[in-house]
Chain A
Amino acid sequence: MMGMLNLVLTNISRKPATRLYPFEIREPFKEFKGRIVFNPENCILCGLCQKKCPPDAITVTKANKTWELNVFRCIMCTECVKGCPKGCLSVSNERAKTGAKEFIKIAVPIVDKPKAPKAAPSK
């Protein structure tokens, strides 16, 4: 009986174990794998991310110069991030937004950078 009273008093005095979601949102942990972030600047369209992706969520089209990620297919294994030779891909700890049509496929056009002029051969 005394043990139960102790438990009741503890439960009255302490904070609730739950949060008032969505007004109170927990900050994501820094290690949390939330979504894939693509930086098109250095992409060379090698297609290694597409080859490594287990659920075939990434499509690299060389002809159109686009990089696409199907967010609903992505399982956040981060194999593409580890496999990218140019470091274009990274993981953000923010959650991927789902439900909206535009987030089903994210196609990023890759623009050719102007080639740097060759240095004149030294004499």
Chain B
Amino acid sequence: MTTIIPFGPQHPVLPEPVSLKLEIDNDVVVGVLPSLGYVHRGLETFINTKDFNQTTYVCERICGICSALHGITYTRAVEKLFDTEIPERAQYIRVIVGELNRLHSHLLWLGLFADGFGFESLFYECWKYREEVLDVAERICGNRVIHSISKVGGVTKDLTKEHIDMLLKMCDSLEPEIKNVEKVFVNNYTVKQRLVGLATMSKQVAYEAGTAGPTLRGSGNAIDVRETADWDIYKDLGFKTAVEKDGDCYARTKVRITELLNSLTIIRNAISKMPDGEIETRIKGFPTGEAIMRTEQPRGEVVYYVKGNGTKKLERLKVRTPTFANIPSLLLMLPGVKLADVPIVVLTIDPCVSCTER
């Protein structure tokens, strides 16, 4: 006999509301029915009242954790609409801020995940390291979470020598700290008992379900938009996609930790290769036509579609966020999992509900 148990919309492990109706048979999940729409804000329609420059600020507020990458993807999409190249220095600054975003997002997730399986001291440790990243972001951009660094045609702020020294210092101090955290996540007996073999998804299933980001790479698919899409700058930054073959919660955690170390490498290389010069190209006129842009966010690939109609306002903005792509895989992972492990499996896709519902 099966029982229906509601999981969410308010749950201690969920920072945002998502509701799952779990069909339980003898303490094991046999079916899942998701329900979304609690924090829908209608931002895609709201942009009809703002011009295409102001829309950058709207897009940054789609998600608080990957705000800079939302803004960067939107501005890159509009620049594609205008068929404009922005200065190389501006692109490097975008990459650096984007990686800072990834660092603080992954550290936040690792903390929440540790809290999810009851390891509170590890949670505090991860969030303590996240503070270092946020302080650097605050000094570069003026804000801790909503960075507002990108604008149509370039970036709003330049990196000074002081900022660069600070970034390098942060990379040097953060690397041993992340390696310490990695030791606990990878070697700790309790963590391994909770995560190894939990909610396994094969390479083929992950690919066919349209999964994105670390969830996809944890199942052995070496697909990262930073390598494959048309943002050439990443190809020179000594970056190698983090892949794990096992496809379980443990593999997804390891992918995220490797990505933290990758981000530090990318920041260091970007600083060493960053040229001098302008940070902005002046863009005039009103956009026409349509464009699509993809970027790798901490949670996975985000897709922006913009359509201009020759006025100062965009006719259409459509966003496909990584969590939206990961929900089908979550529904495939949950059947067969014990009820006590459901929070861990839900957290393992790093759900961002405000992104998904916009």
Known A17-B128, A54-B50, A76-B143; judge A32-B58 contact (CB<8 A): no
Are the C-beta atoms of B128 and A31 separated by less than 8 Å? no
Are the C-beta atoms of B57 and A29 separated by less than 8 Å? no
Question: What class of interface size applies to chain A in its complex with B?
Answer: 10 to 19
Nearest chain A CB to B176 CB, angstrom units: 13
Between-chain CB contacts (< 8 Å), 17 pairs: A31-B138, A31-B139, A31-B141, A31-B142, A32-B138, A32-B142, A54-B50, A54-B54, A54-B57, A55-B57, A75-B57, A76-B143, A77-B57, A77-B148, A78-B142, A79-B54, A91-B142
Most chain B CB neighbours (cut-off 10 Å) among A17, A31, A78, A91: A31
In the bound complex, residues from chain A placing their C-beta under 8 Å from that of B128 are 17
- Does A65 sit within 8 A of B, measured CB to CB? no
Nearest chain B CB to A5 CB, angstrom units: 15
Known A17-B128, A77-B148; judge A54-B58 contact (CB<8 A): yes
Are the C-beta atoms of A29 and B143 separated by less than 8 Å? no
- Does A33 sit within 8 A of B, measured CB to CB? yes
Interface majority SS on A: helix, strand, loop or mixed?
loop
A54–B141 CA distance with the chains assembled, in angstroms = 18
A58–B146 CA distance with the chains assembled, in angstroms = 20
A91–B140 CA distance with the chains assembled, in angstroms = 15
In the bound complex, residues from chain A placing their C-beta under 8 Å from that of B142 are 31-33, 76, 78, 91
Nearest chain B CB to A47 CB, angstrom units: 16
**0/1 string, B148-177, CB within 8 A of A gives 1:** 100000000000000000000000000000
In the bound complex, residues from chain B placing their C-beta under 8 Å from that of A79 are 54
A17–B129 CA distance with the chains assembled, in angstroms = 10
